[in-house]
Chains A and B, each alone.
Chain A
């Protein structure tokens, strides 16, 4: 497929574009854009429980579709998992990434949102809880990243 997109869109293009998505969802349907909420609905479906926000299923489907489209048009390809791939075997990496995922999913449900729900939608709406959650996400993530960086002697 043609390389229509640059490897990485400038932040001042992708940023406002996503900001507009947030606004559009509020303006059209009075709903808050958030990804973890979408996957949560998927989990509810899998548990055969009533789906509380059906639109999120559509949103998640669209998210996957849009991502595939961008990738097909040439958005940056990633191979492996960066430095983590360099320092551990694929088997160990898979185990670690599963735990990473569990932490992300568990934490997102506990906090009531993830970096999109709280980080962009909540913060732009001025929600104090979102500011607190987002600050915690990034604060802890940066601290953990530095800790791992130091512990691995800069390998990761």
Chain B
């Protein structure tokens, strides 16, 4: 599946800085159309899977759905800054490297560093303040 994903992501041209950048400048609709097509197809597929209820190799189907946490916004914002300046994301960077854009390797090094760094920060963070319920 990884191969298929990587193949289509690269073949879609999203590895090209210009495609994403122009999309973020709201000049080029490719990225949005593609995401819509992806999510639309997947949503239909998932609905069909749910009706079936079972996965092929892993028992009952559980599609994760998470309530919104603050971290989604904080992390989302930080990610968005990188995404905006670099017009890339973890998957696209691989597509970029594969199509000969060696700068993608620089971004990837940064991504691995950022993932690692967040792990350290998260491990050091104090536990959430206890709720009133905990004190009772």
Contacts and interface: CB of A to CB of B under 8 A. Distances in A.
Contacts of B65: 125-129
B73 A132 contact: yes
Contacts of A67: 6-7, 9-10, 15, 94-95, 97-99
Which size class do B's interface residues fall under?
35 or more
Interface string A67-102: 111110101111111111000000001101111111
B111 A26 contact: no
B10 A71 contact: yes
Label chain A's interface by main secondary structure: helix
Interface in A134-150: 134-146, 148-149
Interface string B109-133: 1111111111100100000000000
Contact of B75 (A38, A133, A139): A133
A78 B52 CA distance: 42
A124 interface: yes
Given A64-B94, A132-B72, A30 B59 contact: yes
A58 B117 CA distance: 23
A14 B13 CA distance: 9
A87 to B, nearest CB: 12
A35 interface: yes
A9 B10 CA distance: 9
A114 B26 CA distance: 21
The winner among B10, B17, B79 for most chain A CB atoms within 10 A is B79
Contact of A141 (B80, B107, B116): B80
A110 B78 contact: yes
A138 to B, nearest CB: 7
13 contacts: A16-B38, A47-B119, A68-B98, A78-B15, A80-B103, A109-B122, A110-B118, A125-B43, A129-B66, A132-B73, A140-B84, A146-B25, A156-B21
Interface of B: 1-13, 15-19, 21, 24-26, 30, 33-43, 45-46, 48-49, 52, 55-69, 71-101, 103, 106-119, 122
Given A47-B119, A83-B21, A108-B114, 20 more contacts: A7-B13, A8-B30, A11-B34, A15-B34, A19-B39, A27-B61, A30-B60, A39-B90, A67-B99, A82-B18, A101-B107, A101-B111, A104-B86, A107-B81, A111-B74, A111-B76, A124-B40, A125-B46, A136-B77, A143-B80
